[in-house]
């Protein structure tokens, strides 16, 4: 009989190593036939690996956020002296971060932007459907800045301002809390502003049917009326197939309603085809009410969804669209 120590050096290298490891673990734990348990553990890991991947991939977005923050800190440190004399100190930093996100959008999603000709030269309010993450909006903002040299502010949920380390990122990119007065002021100064009326609730609890969840929100319409600017609807094809949520589970909905925090698991991060479509502007009308403008905007956004999105959304189909070509509309 070959002893335990001899088995560590006898036979082919991979077999001897595994035999040695199994023997040591068996001696250490006192468990007989430990190799059966190890085989089961390896099998279980193999089965659960795809499930782990789909929950870990959305973390890439978080990594990109903090990479952007790191780059901004480095940029600030390298240009501290110039900050006192520059009229737009962060212009170079925004271009740098835009390049990072645009590169990720191009490589991972084959990202395309259509209809930029519908964005007015002056101020305007972009109203968009909110996916599970805001990645598609960031791709849009980056592409717009790189190609058109246009900068777009955005209104974010209050919880975003409490995320550790995000302050420099939010300040650099002009992210707003969303008071109507602040939004109207930015538009009157000639800025381009974007808002998703559905906000976090739409992000977490809409699904592959792409239902618009606005509730009774019409503040954005009043902002456009007060600032006398057009509203531009925007939608990203397959945004729900890239990342999905478990918002259909009632306990997560209850937790959100109680805490107002996005305590809902995400999964996906799939490299699906993403195309952002910008619709025709809804011009300012002096006699229109906020309720009427809200209904008009919702109808325009719904029309974009129906035109460009196959419903219900399908992850496999969205992946296959990476290999299809579509004539650009710009």
Phi-psi region of 268 (alpha: psi -120 to 50; beta: other; left: phi over 0): left
- For residue 4, give both structure tokens: 């335990």
Active site residues: 130
Residue with tokens 């040695």: 20
Residues in Cβ contact with 96 at an 8 Å cutoff, skipping those fewer than 6 apart: 71, 75
Among residues 211, 214, 192, 215, which one has the least CA distance to residue 281? 192
Q: Which helix (H) or strand (E) is 316 found in, with range?
A: helix 315-320
40 to 30, 35, 232, 285: CA distances (angstroms): 18, 9, 56, 68
DSSP 117-139: GGS-SS-EEEEE---SSSHHHHH
Residue 21 C-alpha from the chain's centroid: 44
């Amino acid at each position: 009989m070959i002893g335990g120590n001899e088995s560590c050096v006898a036979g082919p290298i991979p077999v001897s190593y595994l035999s040695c490891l199994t023997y040591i673990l068996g001696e250490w734990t006192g468990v007989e036939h430990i190799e059966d348990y190890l085989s089961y553990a390896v099998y279980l890991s193999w089965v659960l690996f795809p499930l782990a991947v789909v929950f870990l991939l959305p973390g890439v977005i978080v990594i990109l956020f903090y990479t952007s923050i790191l780059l901004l800190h480095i940029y600030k440190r390298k240009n501290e002296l110039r900050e006192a004399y520059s009229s737009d100190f962060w212009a170079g930093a925004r271009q740098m971060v835009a390049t990072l996100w645009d590169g990720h959008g191009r490589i991972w999603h084959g990202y395309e932007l259509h209809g930029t000709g519908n964005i007015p030269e002056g101020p305007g309010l972009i109203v968009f459907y909110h996916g599970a993450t805001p990645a598609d909006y960031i791709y849009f903002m980056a592409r717009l800045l790189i190609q058109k040299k246009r900068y777009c502010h955005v209104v974010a949920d209050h919880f975003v301002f409490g995320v550790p380390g995000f302050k420099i990122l939010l300040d650099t990119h002009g992210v707003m809390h969303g008071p109507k007065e602040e939004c109207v002021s930015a538009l009157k100064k000639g800025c381009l502003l974007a808002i998703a009326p559905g906000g976090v609730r739409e992000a977490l609890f809409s699904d592959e049917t792409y239902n618009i969840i606005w509730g009774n929100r019409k503040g954005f319409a009043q902002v456009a009326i007060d600032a006398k600017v057009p509203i531009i609807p925007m939608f990203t094809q397959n945004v729900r197939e890239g990342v999905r949520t478990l918002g259909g589970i009632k306990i997560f909905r209850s937790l959100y309603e109680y805490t107002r925090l996005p305590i809902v698991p995400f999964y996906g991060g799939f490299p699906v085809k993403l195309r952002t479509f910008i619709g025709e502007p809804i011009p300012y009308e002096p006699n229109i009410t906020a309720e009427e403008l809200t209904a008009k905007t919702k109808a325009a956004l719904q029309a974009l969804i129906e035109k460009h999105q196959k419903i219900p959304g399908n992850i496999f189909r969205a992946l296959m669209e990476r290999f299809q070509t579509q004539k650009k509309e710009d």
